[in-house]
Amino acid sequence: MPLSMPPSSTAEVPLRASATAVRPSASAAENTPEYTLPDLVCFAHLHWDFVWQRPQHLLSRFAQVGRVFYVEDAFYHADDLVEPHIEIKERDNGVKVVVAHLPQRHRLDEAASDQAQFELLSQFFSEQSITNYAFWYYTPMALAKSRHFQPVLTVYDCMDELANFKFAHPELKKREQELFRKADLVFTGGHTLYEAKREQHPDAHAFPSSIDKAHFGQARGPLAEPADQAAIPHPGLAFLAWSTSDSILSCCASFPRTTPIGSSSLSARWSRLTRPFCPALPTCITSAARTTRNYLLTSRVGR
């Protein structure tokens, strides 16, 4: 018999774990068995293989001491021939990336999509014996497929003000308020975000993002230069992540004898924003997250 989620309009949101916890007595504490870490299940709007940033920094380290499952947004197929199923991808330090595959008909039926993902996750939890677990959210929108589980701890790690993004879901602000009610801890990726969120949760903390020194430090070692960059004249001028078109043009003017190289999330908008004003730019390179460091090898200036 298929699992069914209660209608979101009538379902009660489980209280935060800290609100219902009971302190053990002294005698009970003496007989408490050895503590084992709960599994960590992360819900994110970012693909694990996209850019090596905050989720990867933290979760790859968490995975060194326990099981970590990284649940991405669903992948919708171009037709209705596929049956809903889960794909598991092994990543750094044993992180398991979990992707729900859904037929095209679910793309425009949000309720059916959420229900299908809830059922798939419920089955997956059972198969993997995920019974003692904490939830770590990067997007409040994931509540639609996860609100009826019972984690021992809920963390909201707020990297960005997602409601201000273009094409943000109209329910995002409402879902964030629901997540605040569920969350035991709230972290923010910067102090400005902290100022905005601290009034909305009693246990909010500024937790600024940084770089992964060990990951990018490998660029100082003997790494192979990527083939698609090798033919470009050196030295290179590397633009990583979300550099703006103005900053790119300014750097190009300051270093006229270098070759601009765009990688990572910059790639999709390089031609649209910058190339019309600087036609000599080479075709932008798209690099996977774990190879971005390789593209830094021949660059003399990076942003």
62-75: pLDDT as tens digits: 999 999 999 999 99
Please give the share of the chain, as a percent, with pLDDT higher than 70: 64
> pTM of this prediction?
0.70
- Give yes or no: residues 284 and 136 share one domain: no
Question: Any idea what the CATH number is for the domain that residue 44 is in?
Answer: 3.40.50.2000
Stretch 22-39: mean pLDDT: 67
Tell me which of 119 and 294 has the higher pLDDT. Answer: 119
11 occurs within a structural domain? no
Whether residues 269 and 250 share a domain: the answer is yes
Q: Are residues 44 and 189 in the same domain?
A: yes
In this predicted model, which residue has the larger pLDDT, 231 or 69?
69
Which of 206, 223, 252 terminates a domain? The answer is 206
Q: Are 262 and 241 in contact (CB under 8 A)?
A: no
Which residues on neighbouring strands pair with residue 75, listed in sequence order? 101
Buried b (16+ CB within 10 A) or exposed e, 101-126: bbbeebeeeeeebbbbbbbbbbebbe
Q: Which span out of 18-32, 252-266, 280-294 was modeled with the highest average pLDDT?
A: 252-266
- Is 66 among the domain residues? yes
CB 118 within 8 A of CB 3: yes
Weakest mean pLDDT among 59-68, 110-119, 209-218, 244-253: 244-253
DSSP annotation of 295 reads H
Give mean pLDDT, residues 87-93.
Answer: 91
pLDDT at site 222: 73
In a domain, 31, yes or no: no
Q: What is the pLDDT of residue 254?
A: 72
Q: Do 199 and 224 lie in a common domain?
A: no
Do residue 122 and residue 185 come from a single domain?
A: yes
- 302 burial type by CB count under 10 A (0-12 exposed, 13-18 middle, 19+ buried): middle
| Mean pLDDT for the stretch of residues 113-129 | 97
Q: What is the residue-averaged pLDDT of the chain?
A: 78
What residue numbers bound the domain in which 281 lies?
A: 213-302
97 & 195 share domain: yes
Q: How many domains does the chain have?
A: 2
Which of 168, 190, 206 is the C-terminal boundary of a domain?
Answer: 206
Distance of alpha carbon 189 from alpha carbon 202, whole angstroms: 17
* 37-46, 163-172, 252-261: range with lowest mean pLDDT: 252-261
Q: Which residues, in sequence order, are CB contacts of 291 under 8 Å at separation 6+?
A: 226
**Which residues, 6 or more positions from 273, have their beta carbon under 8 angstroms from its beta carbon?**
244, 245, 248
